[in-house]
Amino acid sequence: MKYAILKWATLFGGVAIITASFFIWGNREAVNIFYLNLLVSLFAYTILHLSSFSQWIGKGKEEQKSVASLGMKLTFTILYTILVFTIILLGKIIPELTFKLQLIIQCVLLLFFLFGVMGIIAAGDRASKTQESIDIKNEGKNNIKAAINQLNAKIYEKADIDTEISTIIKRLTEDIRFLSPSSNSEAVKLEKDLIDEIKSVEIAFSNYELNKDRILNGLKKAEFLFQSRKNIYN
């Protein structure tokens, strides 16, 4: 709430200061140039202000994903603002910069700004989609890693674990880093079967002595599924 109040207070405060400054010191210009400079100044300040606050207080999931895009938009907005005020200052010292010429230049700068922002937004969307695709591919691998970690936690609760069982679990724990992320339908099915088998083994650990053979067979099946999944690279 306080950020919203600060955002709008500084926006309207800045607009008021710029407008007052123009009417106090800028009324010696031709009326058309005066209002052109006032409008582009207010527009430049508004977009710069909003871009700055988006960069500063964006904390949501989507904002975090596009923080690089926000930075590029802010940089581009600063460049546009500098160019706008440069033209305004040059118009005051160069008589040849008539109203029509200044209007054309300001329109070109506005188009330059809009096309630039559109390009940045499009690039940000592509980057976001690429990251989403990577996250989807990594989801299965991360779930397998979590299941194996839970299984390891069960081992620590047991004092006497057969060497063959602990060796298989150790291999699975170490080999998970060699698993290539994939969204392939076959890979997804293998990942699901592997996780189900690991969870089944984890449950069987609740009565280790009674389920020792079931645990060993389950781990062998899990290792087979893991090797099958490891052979899928895309």
Residues 6+ apart with CB under 8 A from 110: 40, 43
Tell me, yes or no, whether 105 lies in a domain.
no
Same domain membership, residue 225 and residue 143: yes
Domain containing residue 219 = 137-230
Same domain membership, residue 146 and residue 223: yes
Phi/psi of residue 156, nearest 5 degrees: -65, -20
Same domain membership, residue 89 and residue 16: yes
Global confidence as pTM: 0.55
Q: Which two tokens stand for residue 115?
A: 């096309």
Same domain membership, residue 141 and residue 92: no
Identify the pLDDT of residue 25: 76
Cα(137)–Cα(165) distance, integer angstroms? 29
Tell me, yes or no, whether 113 lies in a domain.
no
Instruction: Write down which residue in 67, 97, 127 finishes a domain.
Output: 97
Tell me, yes or no, whether 18 lies in a domain.
yes
Per DSSP, the three-state class of 225 is helix
Instruction: Write down which residue in 69, 97, 125 finishes a domain.
Output: 97
Residues 6+ apart with CB under 8 A from 137: 181, 182, 183
Identify the pLDDT of residue 65: 46
Domain count, the chain: 2
Same domain membership, residue 150 and residue 215: yes
What average pLDDT does range 36-50 have in this prediction? 90
Of residues 98 and 59, more confidently modeled: 98
| End-to-end alpha carbon distance in the chain | 46
Tell me, yes or no, whether 171 lies in a domain.
yes
Identify the pLDDT of residue 159: 63
Instruction: Write down which residue in 39, 74, 97 finishes a domain.
Output: 97
CA 44 to chain centre: 26
Same domain membership, residue 142 and residue 59: no
